[in-house]
Amino acid sequence: MTNVVVIGSQWGDEGKGKIVDWLSERADVVVRFQGGHNAGHTLVIDGVSYKLSLLPSGVVREGKFSLIGNGVVFDPHAFVAELERLAEKGVTVGPDRLRIAENTALILSVHRELDGIREDAASNSGTKIGTTRRGIGPAYEDKVGRRAIRAMDLKNMETLPAKVDRLLTHHNALRRGLGYEEVAHETLMDELQSVAETIVPYIDRVWKILDDYRRRGARILFEGAQGTLLDIDHGTYPFVTSSNTTAGQAATGSGIGPGSVGYVLGITKAYTTRVGEGPFPTEQDNDIGQFLGERGYEFGTVTGRKRRCGWFDAVLVRQAVAINGITGIALTKLDVLDGLDEIRICVGYKLDGEEIDYLPASQGAQARVEAIYETVEGWKATTAGARTWNDLPAQAVKYVRHIEELIGAPVALLSTSPERDDTILVTDPFHD
């Protein structure tokens, strides 16, 4: 049985929601393996729209099981709020349908505050990352620093105080240094106690559940968040998120062997966007960028921030194909390019006078690369709503074929509008 991992092959916001929704209908179990509630997408099912940030997409579908893996950083307050929002829409997500890995690190108020404090301080020094201020980075720091409070700790109120002390020793030292008030032990204990009762029934051994599903030959969908260029190792460091957003993390972030990951579907936008700070070689801070942003409705789902927009960067996506082992891509938002006379594609970079065909790893070099473009003819007819190749103008087909060639991976799905059925299916990633 083929399992599928869905990852973003650019800077996130490639349109994963619609594709994950479509795939989750075919899956038996849906697993989140990294990130936290910094992600966000909207699913529209039978005319009702659901906004999800932390919960896997399987939760809005009857008969699907959902898992939050150990690679996620889990904000219990965001979790409770998301459960409540779903309940208002008539969707009850109990432990019969969702489990959280016992070894998942928690995001607490101290992390959220620290994220905000640092971003505010950085605004004045020019080192701002432009985070979602959800506490993601500080929570991962504590996990790697071996002082995190983990989901399983909520089950044992006797051992919790010592863990809270250890965490606060670190945070209060930081807070003092930054000129902020210390957090009292009781405050954090109260915070944890207030959510423990709700969370504890969901806590489980996710690795074991996944192993059982795998042995039964069930279909597993690994739902990635953010995108390859935001990966802590492979992205545009330090302007990245604090987790591995690439396909390999599906295994370690959920507790399954890499051989079980299967098909890697890279969600890829027909142009490029990014939110937050950092290098963006094909950015168009001009009328074209404005056009793409307005036509593509490029505003963040989580923070509402305007996304930066630019031409398709084949260098970046080719690198993403290599790093993730992308089997096929889902190309999204092709219709946003409808009506343009000419379309540009970045096919290489110039760095200090020399041509290169990859994104260099250093921050300085990333800031200096200049895009080398190829210009292709646009198409006047609309691609919006196309459901077969024959519905597409010849130039649009040529654009898609050229992208395949440049990135070295085939298009498995082509999405031509936010509507679910407006999709051209070339290969079903779950197909055995």
Best CA proximity match to 20, nearest among 265, 232, 255: 265
**Shortest Cβ 125–ligand IMP spacing (Å):** 17
* Strand locations in 280-416 (E): 308-310, 312-313, 328-332, 342-351, 354-356, 370-377, 411-415
By the 8 A CB rule, do 97 and 59 touch? yes
By the 8 A CB rule, do 420 and 18 touch? yes
User: To 10 degrees, what angle do helices 160-178 and 185-199 make?
Assistant: 130
**Shortest Cβ 96–ligand IMP spacing (Å):** 28
**Shortest Cβ 283–ligand IMP spacing (Å):** 14
Best CA proximity match to 321, nearest among 376, 266, 389: 266
Reply yes or no on whether 402 is catalytic. Answer: no
**Shortest Cβ 292–ligand IMP spacing (Å):** 16
Instruction: In whole angstroms, give the CA distance from residue 239 to residue 277.
Output: 6
Instruction: In whole angstroms, give the CA distance from residue 212 to residue 67.
Output: 13
Both tokens assigned to 293: 């942003």
If the CB atoms of residues 129 and 424 are measured against ligand IMP, the closer one turns out to be: 129
If the CB atoms of residues 3 and 38 are measured against ligand IMP, the closer one turns out to be: 38
**Shortest Cβ 360–ligand IMP spacing (Å):** 19
Instruction: In whole angstroms, give the CA distance from residue 37 to residue 72.
Output: 9
* Interface ranges with ligand IMP (CB under 6 A): 12-13, 38-40, 129-132, 134, 136-137, 225-226, 230, 239, 241-242, 275-276
Instruction: In whole angstroms, give the CA distance from residue 63 to residue 55.
Output: 16
Residue type, 281: P
User: What count of other Cβ atoms lies within 10 Å of the Cβ of residue 294?
Assistant: 11
If the CB atoms of residues 137 and 253 are measured against ligand IMP, the closer one turns out to be: 137
If the CB atoms of residues 241 and 319 are measured against ligand IMP, the closer one turns out to be: 241
**Shortest Cβ 79–ligand IMP spacing (Å):** 17
If the CB atoms of residues 23 and 164 are measured against ligand IMP, the closer one turns out to be: 23
Of 21, 37, 41, 142, which is the active-site residue? 41
3-state class percentages of the chain: helix first, strand second, coil last, to nearest 5: 40, 20, 40
Reply yes or no on whether 165 is catalytic. Answer: no
- Extract long-range pairs of 388-396: CB within 8 Å, 24+ residues apart: 388/424, 389/424, 392/424, 396/334, 396/337
If the CB atoms of residues 363 and 427 are measured against ligand IMP, the closer one turns out to be: 363
* Number of residue whose CB is nearest ligand IMP: 276
Q: List, by residue number, the catalytic residues.
A: 13, 41
